[in-house]
Structure 1
Amino acid sequence: MKKLILGTTALALSAGMALAQDVIRMGTEGAYPPYNFINDNGEVDGFERELGDELCKRAELTCTWVTNEWDSIIPNLVSGNYDTIIAGMSITDERDEVIDFTQNYFPPDPSVYVGLSEGIDVENAVVVAQTGTIQASHVASTGATLLEFPTPDETVAAVRNGEADAVLADKGFLEPIVKESGGELVIIGDDVMLGDGIGMGLRESDAELKATFDAAIQSMKDDGSLAILIAKWFDGMDSGF
């Protein structure tokens, strides 16, 4: 689904294996519902919180949650501030050069354009996307004028206040916002397929931890619980798992 790395500056490999620690620190953004968000109690919530807790339970790991802004989420993983990224991160070749990924726990999520009217030529418009995302990279490749903001909420606000003609983001994020807008916002055109599905990001040195989470993800696919969880958080979506 979501997002390209901003760069590889100061990405040093962290020594040691995460599994040697007493607690595995799960890093997320906390700002991309329904994947992850902060609830009224100030706690990480959403699809990935529920998924991550279940994966840790199956792997017999003690886990805690850490939030980090999106634009530095990969550098802070590599530098050791947490042990995984579970934040709606699409598996891409560019990211795979810097970090490792588990198998996907979410299929490729279509992206959609959303604006105030349907008749917008998105390839000749001002289109906003979150900084460092695969959507931002796609917009730049189309010839549209790209406008970037650091948070998902700011991208939607840019359309509402007239700074941009449309926003491009994951359908799972934008569709509920469109439904709740009462007709103010509309989806423009067809789905845009980007990325290779969503996986957990880990340091390349943490092969044992990757294998542990891979096994837990596979067990949830095999018993159908992952498909049920996706349907719960994404309006009955059939994931194909």
Structure 2
Amino acid sequence: MNKIILSTALLALTASGALAQDVIRMGTEGQYPPYNMIGDSGEVEGFEIDLGNELCERAGLTCEWVINDWDSIIPNLVSGNYDTIIAGMSITAERDEVIDFTQDYYPPTGSIYIALEDGVDLEGGVVAAQTGTIQAGYVAETGATLLEFATPDETIAAVQNGEADAVFADKDFLLPYTESGELMVVGEEVPLGGGVGMGLRESDTELKAKFDAAITSMKEDGTLNTLLDEYFGEGTGTY
């Protein structure tokens, strides 16, 4: 993330305002279920797609979806390739130095390790994580050997083929991989981040205000809690 900060700080000065455009482009990854993924139809879908479409409707905006790889998702926002990031991105102080965030639309949650067997060495072994995530930063501080991959699916494959002892990621992403019994949760859950929010260029204050107001309205009428419970299980929505 430090490299991202250095490479994008100057670009932020030249990014144009999103509201001057007819269409607001919503940047997402499309590889992080159930937050966002490519469905059988070839179109992007998931919790954040349903959420984003509802937010756009409430904000009176016309929005379209743009797929972008995670490792360049912040630089491409700052350089103007799209106008928002809505991609399971945790709000952190480091990211906030480069971009701005709306209020959170998913409360702070935990991250977990999964592995092929119990008893793996999480502090001295090899742990896979997706590049540029708060989980990768955490693993780097634990003493474990960090093995970074561009996509979340590659981190799972690294454990399955014996390249890594465990994978560390957001709980909601990893838990479905334990349902078959091949992989299991190991170690303790780790609380990370300040919730998930929508990323915007720091210059787009009017756009941020529109989305903040829309998120607030969804919290107040219970719609956001209903959507959270639908995708992540009953009781997830706590707003």
Which TM-score band applies after superposition, normalised by the shorter structure? over 0.9
Percent of pairs with identical residues: 66
| CA RMSD across the alignment | 1.1
- Indicate yes or no: 2:108 matched with 1:108: yes
Deviations 1:111-167 (A, max 9, x none): 000001121121111000001110000001000111011000000000000000000
Cα deviation, residue 5, structure 1:
6.6
Equivalent residue, structure 2, for 1:30? 30
Equivalent residue, structure 2, for 1:183? 181
Deviations 1:44-80 (A, max 9, x none): 1000000000000000100000000000000000000
TM-score normalised over the length of structure 1? 0.95
Query: Of 4, 9, 32, which residue of structure 2 is paired with 1:7?
Result: 4
- Indicate yes or no: 2:224 matched with 1:226: yes
* Distance in 1 of aligned mates of 2:122 and 2:25: 40
> Which amino acid is the alignment partner of residue 123 of structure 2?
E
CA distance 1:198–1:207, change in 2 (3 Å)? same
- Secondary structure at the residue paired with 2:196? coil
> Does structure 2 retain, via aligned residues, the 8 Å contact 1:129–1:148?
yes
> Does structure 2 retain, via aligned residues, the 8 Å contact 1:5–1:95?
no
Equivalent residue, structure 2, for 1:41? 41
Cα deviation, residue 15, structure 1:
3.9
Show structure 1 runs of 5+ residues with no match: none
Equivalent residue, structure 1, for 2:212? 214
Deviations 1:141-197 (A, max 9, x none): 000111011000000000000000000000000001111xx2110000221100000
> Which amino acid is the alignment partner of residue 210 of structure 1?
K
Equivalent residue, structure 2, for 1:154? 154
Bigger shift: residues 70-79 or 14-23:
14-23
* Distance in 2 of aligned mates of 1:188 and 1:141: 18
> Which amino acid is the alignment partner of residue 88 of structure 1?
G
Bigger shift: residues 182-191 or 10-19:
10-19
* Distance in 1 of aligned mates of 2:137 and 2:204: 29
* Distance in 2 of aligned mates of 1:220 and 1:10: 32
Bigger shift: residues 231-240 or 215-224:
231-240
TM-score normalised over the length of structure 2? 0.96
Show structure 2 runs of 5+ residues with no match: none
Equivalent residue, structure 1, for 2:59? 59
- Secondary structure at the residue paired with 1:103? strand
> Does structure 2 retain, via aligned residues, the 8 Å contact 1:5–1:74?
no
